[in-house]
């Protein structure tokens, strides 16, 4: 099953919509609830990242019998130092975004903790692609 969702820059009102839709699908497929919880955490963080840091992007989700693969491709400023961004507490979020309770520097670490495979690639001035995989078994 293949799904695509668009996310838009600073569209915080709709943050979580894609995560919610995929969660619903995984529930209907009777995937183990503890695995769904991990997918949801990772997906939500990736969704918020594209909204908070990029100029928008596309979420591609593929659900196979044994795993879910999600790719989030954004156009945006890119990440100059991915290792720095992966460390808990590091964030480039604006004061406005921080006031909302985002930008604590926990997004990428939260993703890493909850997926089986993660690849972040980025080109400064072009955008960032986050690919992640969670196994069902």
Partner 1 sequence: MKVQELVDKLGLKVLSGANGLNREIDGCYISDLLSDVMGNAMEGNIWITLQTHKNVMAVASLKELACVILVKDLVPNAETIEQSNDDGLPVLQTSLPTYEIAGLVYNLLH
Interface with partner 1 (CB under 8 A) = 12-13, 15-17, 19-20, 23, 37, 40-41, 44-45, 48, 100-102, 104, 106-107, 109-110, 113
Residue 93: HSE in the Cβ half-sphere, 13 Å Cα cutoff? 23
- Shortest distance, CB of residue 37 to partner 1, whole angstroms? 8
48 CA to centre of own chain: 7
Nearest CA-CA partner of 2 in 15, 30, 21: 21
Q: How far apart are CA 101 and CA 95, in angstroms?
A: 10
- Shortest distance, CB of residue 52 to partner 1, whole angstroms? 10
Between 16 and 56, CB nearer to partner 1: 16
- Shortest distance, CB of residue 135 to partner 1, whole angstroms? 20
Strand partners, 117: 133
SS3 129: strand
Between 19 and 122, CB nearer to partner 1: 19
SS3 29: coil
Between 33 and 65, CB nearer to partner 1: 33
Between 28 and 66, CB nearer to partner 1: 28
- Shortest distance, CB of residue 131 to partner 1, whole angstroms? 20
């Amino acid at each position: 099953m293949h799904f695509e969702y668009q996310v838009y820059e600073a569209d915080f009102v709709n943050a979580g919509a894609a995560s919610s839709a995929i969660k619903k699908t995984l529930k209907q497929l009777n995937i183990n609830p503890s695995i769904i919880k991990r997918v949801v955490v990772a997906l939500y963080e990736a969704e918020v990242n594209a909204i908070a840091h990029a100029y928008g992007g596309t979420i591609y989700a593929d659900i196979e019998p044994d795993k879910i693969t999600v790719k989030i491709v954004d156009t945006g400023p890119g990440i100059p130092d991915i290792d720095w961004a992966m460390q808990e507490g590091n964030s480039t979020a604006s004061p406005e975004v921080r006031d909302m309770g985002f930008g604590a520097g926990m997004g990428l670490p939260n993703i890493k903790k909850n997926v089986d495979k993660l690849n972040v690639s980025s080109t400064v001035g072009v955008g960032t692609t986050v690919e992640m995989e969670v196994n069902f078994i």
